[in-house]
Chain A
Amino acid sequence: MLSILIIFSVLMPFVFFMASSAEQPNVWEVTQITMNVTFFLNIIFVVVIAADSVASEFSTGTIKLLLIRPWSRSKILLSKYISLILFSVLSSVVVFGVAFLSSNIWFNYEGNSGMFPSTSSNISYTLMILGSSYVQLIMITMIAFMISTLFRSSTFAIALSLFVLFTKDIFLAILNPDQYGWMKYVIFTHMDLKGYINSSVGPGGSSFTFSILVLAGYYIVFVLLSWFVFKKRDIAT
């Protein structure tokens, strides 16, 4: 999976180079455009791994051997989650790093195609987009991990998480939080924090702090649910 990400990250800046317009974009802009695609791929890959993580232990039966060890179930679940997060960090760094290096080959720092807002510097804008994308990754991954733990089926976990990923924008468009006030409390509204870079008022009139709180709240519920079910489950087959 990493190799696919690397290939895309290397090739896309090159493609932009070939299709260059009158205004040459600078390194940061190209990196950003590349990451729009590759980070989305990145999320999908991490979600697949998350969904497989716990469920496959159950379906292959290796969970038995894993649990008959001097470690509490909580520690085992935590270790799986940590390895997942480590991978996501690695893959995100690779996505960013390779795109950046590749853009450096074909572009320079002088150009400006007007993609970025003039309010913040190029670096900080890129990093902020990266940060908000990563938050989105964390949330979707947690959903996938939770479904994997609850339903012990990787297929179901992958399908449901990707469904959420692809359709949340549609839901947001239909159930516009500005019209439906209660949408403010639904997680989908706040998963994309990019809007806060340009304006301090988010969907449905919420603030940045509010979004973070809602996300954190949902996250804690997901964690507790996964942990509780994993701890109490009887493994009878």
Chain B
Amino acid sequence: MLLHLKRVNKMQQEPVVRLEAVSKVISSKVIIDNLNLEIVPGQVFGFLGPNGAGKTTTIRMMVGLISITQGDIVICGHSIKNNFEAAIANVGAIVENPEMYKYLSGYQNLRHFARMMPGVTKQRIQDVIALVGLDNRIHDKVKTYSLGMRQRLGVAQAILHNPKLLILDEPTNGLDPQGIRELRDYLRHLCRIEGTTVFVSSHLLSEMELMCDRVAIIQNGRLIDVRQLKNEEGVAVTAAEIAFEVDQPRQAAELLGVDRVDRIENNQLILKVSREEAADINARLVQAGLKVYGIREVTRTLEDQFLEMTGSEQIV
């Protein structure tokens, strides 16, 4: 039993996607430089970078739209270069705006793409339509659809065949806040319940922070960093700092013990403590006669970290 669990665990760690020393050169200009990346199954993986970093190029190489100059991309054990059909069978993707056949209805479009993939039943198509919320308009021609509806149809065609890997390039383009929220919830549902691995590239850092478990940051075609945002249970990994706004910061620091205090900014004491400890500290400060004006969490947002890492944005 234990051995079985161990094996399952090891299988679960077998990466869904592996980029092995991937390079792309166009007319002697190096667009992507020796990119190495591994994505383990069951998480939402974010792909960030400034404009022109090479995100879209990388994604297009992953799905076979652009050829790989050097290196290889392996999806679920199959190489995109040598074994394209087997590799792509595990992938559903939306690359930039999902364009459908405008003169066909949404339903006809889905039938058309469903026929190209084995094992997609009519029932599955109906389920997917319900999932993306297009039941009312599915039989109208796509040219009557709004952008949000087309995005939803795009998601629908990507998940028809229950892919192990869902690749989305800027999926929130043109969606209203509700649409973005629905997409985010839906992706997390896919990930947690159905075990699909989601690979998202986006500019919206706040969105990525909410959506992703792990992010990779790319700049000038090179991988700069990979960091974990949330752990297995979906709890944020970065430690929170608590800032206490008091009237006499130095006295407060002495009271608490100067080594415990991280730093003092303006009138704020900044400490790395848990929620419980923060409540205790508040009580102690008040008992000592100090005034506490406010207690808040200070976190360096993804945006701060990102801008710090990528430095000044030089147009390549």
| Chain A residues within CB distance 8 Å of chain B | 60-62, 64-72, 232, 234-236
The answer to whether A65 and B97 touch across the interface, beta carbons within 8 angstroms, is no
**Chain A neighbourhood of B116, CB < 8 A:** 66, 69-71
In the complex, the number of residue pairs spanning A and B with C-beta atoms less than 8 Å apart equals: 56
Chain B residue at smallest Cβ distance from A232:
B67
**Chain B neighbourhood of A68, CB < 8 A:** 63-65, 88, 91-93, 95
Write out, one digit per residue, whether chain B residues 55-92 have a CB within 8 A of any chain A CB (1) or not (0): 00100100111110000000000000000111011011
* B240-271 interface with A by 8 A CB criterion: none
- Given A62-B99, A62-B101, A236-B60, A70 contacting B66 (CB threshold 8 A): no
Query: In the bound complex, how far is the Cα of B163 from the Cα of A18, in angstroms?
Result: 65
User: How far in angstroms is the closest Cβ of chain B from A55?
Assistant: 14
The answer to whether B100 and A65 touch across the interface, beta carbons within 8 angstroms, is yes
**Chain A neighbourhood of B15, CB < 8 A:** none
Query: In the bound complex, how far is the Cα of B295 from the Cα of A157, in angstroms?
Result: 69
Q: Does B98 contact A (CB under 8 A)?
A: yes
The answer to whether A70 and B102 touch across the interface, beta carbons within 8 angstroms, is no
**Chain A neighbourhood of B86, CB < 8 A:** 70
Give 25 CB contacts A-B under 8 Å: A60-B99, A61-B99, A62-B99, A62-B100, A64-B95, A65-B98, A65-B99, A65-B157, A66-B116, A67-B65, A68-B64, A68-B95, A69-B116, A69-B117, A70-B85, A70-B86, A70-B117, A232-B67, A234-B66, A234-B67, A235-B60, A235-B65, A235-B66, A236-B57, A236-B66
* B81-135 interface with A by 8 A CB criterion: 84-86, 88-89, 91-93, 95-102, 113, 116-118
**Chain A neighbourhood of B98, CB < 8 A:** 65
In this complex, how many residues of chain B approach chain A with their Cβ under 8 Å: the count is 28
| Chain B residues within CB distance 8 Å of chain A | 57, 60, 63-67, 84-86, 88-89, 91-93, 95-102, 113, 116-118, 157
User: How far in angstroms is the closest Cβ of chain B from A65?
Assistant: 7
The answer to whether A71 and B85 touch across the interface, beta carbons within 8 angstroms, is yes
**Chain B neighbourhood of A235, CB < 8 A:** 60, 65-66
Query: In the bound complex, how far is the Cα of B63 from the Cα of A67, in angstroms?
Result: 9
Closest 6 CB pairs of A and B: A61-B99, A70-B89, A235-B65, A70-B85, A234-B66, A69-B116
Query: In the bound complex, how far is the Cα of B92 from the Cα of A53, in angstroms?
Result: 24
**Chain B neighbourhood of A65, CB < 8 A:** 98-100, 113, 157
Query: In the bound complex, how far is the Cα of B93 from the Cα of A69, in angstroms?
Result: 9
Chain A residue at smallest Cβ distance from B100:
A62
**Chain A neighbourhood of B95, CB < 8 A:** 64, 68
Query: In the bound complex, how far is the Cα of B65 from the Cα of A61, in angstroms?
Result: 12
Query: In the bound complex, how far is the Cα of B101 from the Cα of A140, in angstroms?
Result: 27
Chain A residue at smallest Cβ distance from B118:
A70
Query: In the bound complex, how far is the Cα of B212 from the Cα of A20, in angstroms?
Result: 80
The answer to whether A70 and B88 touch across the interface, beta carbons within 8 angstroms, is yes
**Chain A neighbourhood of B113, CB < 8 A:** 65, 69
